[in-house]
Amino acid sequence: MTRWAPDAPARLEQAAIELFASRGYAATTVPEIAERAGLTTRTFFRHYTDKREVLFLRERDFPRIVSELLAAAPPALTPWGLVMHGFETVVSRDFDGWREGMRRRRAIIRSDPHLRERELLKSSMLSRAIEEALVARGAEDAELLARLGSAVFDTALDAWLDDDADPPLLQVLRATRARMLRLVD
């Protein structure tokens, strides 16, 4: 047990989500978030580089996770199969059950372009991690593959969050991948 209440980052995240949801992102200030978490403004900025970042605590590990996943994947896969294998694995492990929380978070993010911007940067960093993992395995066209994979994944995620029937995300992802094949020529 440490001297301070533990998990300052998580407490700040929780306080921020509550305030953003109730009075809006732009209308809540960092001092307000810090106070609700029982901390000071300065401490907020020690854990998060800026006000937007507090909504993306979970995303911090994504690039590393995907990177490890791709490095450990079966060697026989095609490059595109490898990319989709990574997404399918992480999706089966980490996503189902979080749907409601993700919906709430998405509603906040959609309410402000600054948050949308940060979300796009996170997605782009994930794409970059995929690209590097592909290069490490000697694949060609890593940049294009990573971007296409991200496009399919992001679209699947949106469809999953919008679908009130709440199917498994893995199923939506595979369907989106198949849709893509039918569309392009």
Partner DNA sequence: TGTCCTGATGACATGTTGTGTCATCACTCT
Partner DNA sequence: AGAGTGATGACACAACATGTCATCAGGACA
Rg, the chain, Cα only: 18
User: Which conformational region is residue 73 in: left (phi greater than 0), alpha (psi within -120 to 50 degrees), or beta?
Assistant: beta
Q: Is 117 in the site for DNA (CB under 7 A)?
A: no
With CB under 5 to 8 Å by kind, the binding choice for 141 among a copy of itself, DNA, none is: a copy of itself
Widest CA span in the chain? 62
For residues 19 and 12, give the distance between their C-alpha atoms in angstroms, rounded to a whole number.
11
Instruction: Show contacts with a copy of itself in window 53-112 (CB under 8 A).
Output: 78-81
Residue 10's nearest CA partner among 58, 76, 81, 45 is 58
Which of 99, 111, 154, 161 is in the footprint of a copy of itself by CB under 8 A?
A: 154
- Residue 30 found at the interface with a copy of itself (CB under 8 A): no
Assess contact for 25 and 50: CB atoms under 8 A. no
Compute CA 173 distance to the chain's CA centroid, rounded to the nearest angstrom.
15
**Residue 179 contacts a copy of itself per CB under 8 A:** yes
Least spacing, CB of residue 51 vs a copy of itself, in Å: 13
Please tell me the distance from the alpha carbon of residue 119 to that of residue 121, in angstroms, as a whole number: 5
Query: Are residues 86 and 70 in contact, defined by beta-carbon separation less than 8 angstroms?
Result: yes
1 contact, one of DNA, a copy of itself, none, CB 5-8 Å limit per kind: DNA
Find the part of the chain contacting DNA (CB under 7 A) among 35-43, 94-102, 139-147, 177-185.
35-43
Among 49, 113, 164, 185, binds DNA (CB under 7 A): 49
Regarding 22 and contact with DNA (CB under 7 A), the answer is no
In whole angstroms, the minimum distance from the beta carbon of 6 to a copy of itself comes to: 30
Cβ within 8 Å of residue 168, ≥6 positions away = 96
Answer for which of 18, 24, 31, 171 binds DNA (CB under 7 A) is 31
* Residues within the interface to a copy of itself (CB under 8 A): 78-81, 113, 116-118, 120-121, 124, 141, 143-145, 147-148, 150-152, 154-155, 158, 176, 179-181, 183-185
